[in-house]
Structure 1
Amino acid sequence: MEETSQALQDFTASYCDNWQQVRGSWPVSEQLHGIASPCVVSSEESVVYWQPQPFSLAKNLDAVERALDLRIQPAVTAFYTTQFAGDMAAQIGGCRLSLVQVWSEEDFVRIQENLIGHLVMKRRLKHSPTLFIATTESELDVISVCNLSGEVILEQLGTQKRETLAPSLAEFLKSIQAVIGE
């Protein structure tokens, strides 16, 4: 868990540093404007400036584990319980992605509900369990962690199609590059 937390914190620091260098500001989000969070630095007409904050809740995904009677990969727990932050754009190879982050305490509840829904869908389809960590430009593809192997994969929702991107979540976080909003 510690390796994943550190890799996420390192990527986040690099992401924020890149924003400072390129834009001279903290990261900006239109989607999160008007939504309360400990991350909010300031707001303007239709955007919010944010900076990461320490995670203040219990560092577990017990609600997900209890709902599905499933032990979650510790790396995924670390990913979702290291910090509050806005989603962060990145790329790996030619794949552009947005890391899913917890924006607030209320958002943590929503993310757990979405993880439960994702796992229920996987169970109904008789697919191995995965936990999403990032979205892609395609609505059909998500980046997930395989709950059996711990590998990070690009998977096509509703199918068995998947491509391994990294052997672990920590390695994945170390290999992605920040993409600063154009």
Structure 2
Amino acid sequence: MTSTNKTLTQALLNFSSAYVELYKTKLGHLPTVEHDEQWLSCCEQGPHDVSHHYWQPALMESSTEGDELTFSNVESALKLELHPDIKTYFTTIFSSDINAVCAEGELSLLFAWNSEDFARLQENIIGHILMKQRLKQAETVFFAVTDEEDMIISVNNSSGEVWVEQVGCKPHKKLSDSLTDFIEQLTPKLL
């Protein structure tokens, strides 16, 4: 792991911890998620009520679910190397979406909930990159959705810069020089 990736890992851990602490401070408990027996995660921390469980982000490396979750199959399928920040971002924690606010507005950071969700995420990334290539646009990888329909936050695969883009269109507004810088400027937000 490069020093940049260690910094990104730490930024993700700090931000996800701040999100959990916000819940504990404001609501007196961990975040909750609708429980689904067919969609279990190591993030779940036990029942909140009949249909919801408490949850918190879980380190992938300390989870048996996180064994060998990589992007080598995606890179092989696309004949393309993904930016290291993209790989670090999606292989640091299992988590439900985490809501946040930045200078541009509200967004939800996307993560894999479990290993099956990681596989689905990989398929979506392949589809997104193939669409970008078909449109002859620079490859990007989405990692967040905004409160505006069809607007996503993505990482430029070549530069690592963070951009806003409308699905199917070229990125139109640069938000940060790096994913680490972007994560560090976010404020966690309750639902």
State the TM-score, normalized to the length of structure 2: 0.89
State the Cα distance separating 1:59 from its structure 2 match.
Answer: 5.2
Rounded to whole Å, the distance in 1 between the matches of 2:21 and 2:118 is 25
Which segments of structure 1 move beyond 4 Å, counting only runs of 4 or more?
none
Kindly indicate whether the alpha-carbon contact (under 8 Å) linking 1:86 and 1:102 is maintained by their aligned counterparts in 2: yes
Rounded to whole Å, the distance in 2 between the matches of 1:139 and 1:109 is 25
What's the counterpart of residue 10 of structure 2?
A: 6
Rounded to whole Å, the distance in 2 between the matches of 1:131 and 1:48 is 30
State the Cα distance separating 1:138 from its structure 2 match.
Answer: 2.4
Structure 1, gaps ≥5 residues long: none
What's the counterpart of residue 52 of structure 1?
A: 57
Rounded to whole Å, the distance in 2 between the matches of 1:178 and 1:165 is 17
Q: In structure 1, the residue corresponding to 2:145 is in which secondary structure? A: strand
Kindly indicate whether the alpha-carbon contact (under 8 Å) linking 1:59 and 1:78 is maintained by their aligned counterparts in 2: no
Identity %: 37
Q: In structure 2, the residue corresponding to 1:138 is in which secondary structure? A: coil
State the Cα distance separating 1:58 from its structure 2 match.
Answer: 2.2
1:111-137 Cα deviation digits (max 9, x unpaired): 111110110111111110000000112
Q: How many residues align?
A: 179
State the TM-score, normalized to the length of structure 1: 0.93
Rounded to whole Å, the distance in 2 between the matches of 1:110 and 1:39 is 18
Matched, 1:21 2:21: no
Structure 2, gaps ≥5 residues long: 61-65
Kindly indicate whether the alpha-carbon contact (under 8 Å) linking 2:163 and 2:171 is maintained by their aligned counterparts in 1: no
Q: In structure 2, the residue corresponding to 1:12 is in which secondary structure? A: helix
State the Cα distance separating 1:161 from its structure 2 match.
Answer: 4.3
1:46-88 Cα deviation digits (max 9, x unpaired): 4332011121222531121111111111011000000111110
Rounded to whole Å, the distance in 1 between the matches of 2:56 and 2:142 is 23
Q: In structure 1, the residue corresponding to 2:8 is in which secondary structure? A: helix
